[in-house]
Structure 1
């Protein structure tokens, strides 16, 4: 049966994506989510999109984007569209080239009356934080929020400001494939969030919703640190009248001290891992960490397709790894 004529969601072609930021060399944790996303769509004969999320003009470099593609090819992960070649019908696949598209959707949100100009700096917001809000999240207190909403006052053209989105004091509900049913009150968890920064840069939340919707992405696999973002994005999908994808957040790979891997931690970065291991060995390690294989036996991604199942992925927020053993 043709998926276009099929009313049953189970026969719609799965479309997943990997959307790395080219701000450094990938590490083992980046490959973990990439492999699981790839396996999920390939196990159901789906399509995989590579999108380059280079929204940060100061840190993003094309040389890192090229290395990302090279590392994915080295591991054996192929994509159907996207990447630096812009192959496919939904380009450009680099977010730095999609500003005109984001502006259209920002104007749609402005038309709802629930966005507003905000002149608060990061330092201003941090100064208002309660002592218990010390986990790194900055919860906006609403200093610039209009006294009544919706508000259709034009944003002042001369004052330097970001564009911020009002969030309601209600629970956003969604189901995560790994962690189950989620209930998030955005007012309490993040407050009104930014859509466009004061320097003109586009915020991640708006860009990723617009891109996933326009590129036909119906499954998003990424690290558990972005679980809160799914609630913010679900709210944005609702405002724009778009259908959100299915979400599957996966555990973060951490070192033995419980610190999540970062691009600054070179010991498990791809340049070091490729010196010590074959792609098959790295794939086997990742498959074992994810619960797909009982032991880290060398294998290729294609050999794992028939072994993949979401119920094998442990619903943990973190998976520790002994760096000295890799």
Structure 2
């Protein structure tokens, strides 16, 4: 394999995760332009989270019948088509259906990306792939700043389709074929849920710092989270200690932000809170998750992306603070319990 092909092969999981995230979250910045009741606007934003579970369950069948390369092509092209559909649809029930299908494809795409990364046995690639969530959000925020309109932002998702040409660089997963449905353990689902909790409550952040240039602070936080993702595989200390550092900083900065609304603290919370995601796949594998079913654990846990912000919005200071403190504490405990297994299997 040439050096260029090796680089591209390493980038396909990151690209797929980033593109899928962009398509799912970018239009959400402008959903208020529809002048709909708040609950309906939120449903348009959140309905893909339900589709994610269906997509991750469907993935296990599709990967066997189509193979990884064909499924990569299907994901990138489908994301582009559905983006265009969401941009030109003016009927709300139809738009909800399109957004739900975007969630289904997101579940398929991210399951493929995570399996390719985890199966590589490379910690850096796993961390880089998980940072696709940050890249997608940054892209969505930038699109909002420059394009501003729902239709234009949605149509910009068509950019995913040309990336289908990179399919030859996707790892062949033939050796992982498994006809039976493989489900992750409940603990591995909870690990992703607690790891993603900062990402869930961060959906409330733009409104909290709206008068202080909310979008800019969100972009800065997400941008700084990317090196935090990549720092974990490079640290010489144990991952249990890294998790302890990340969870403690996330808990303290998260509590401070929701109590004070200081944007500088938001940046710290975003960087460390999202950085925890790079540890989640390794920690989940210590509790029985496999490369094939890890996408189900990840996308099932993502239902918290609907539940946590809604519940927290009742009383952001109290509930968001409590969610963050409890999630980081439980994640720290699970990491300590799994520390003997974290050093095995991934370089």
Asked whether the two chains share a fold, i.e. TM above 0.5, the reply is: no
Greater C-alpha Rg:
1
TM value normalised by structure 2: 0.23
More strand by share: 1
Structure possessing the higher relative contact order (Cα contacts under 8 Å, 6 or more residues apart):
2
More helix by share: 2
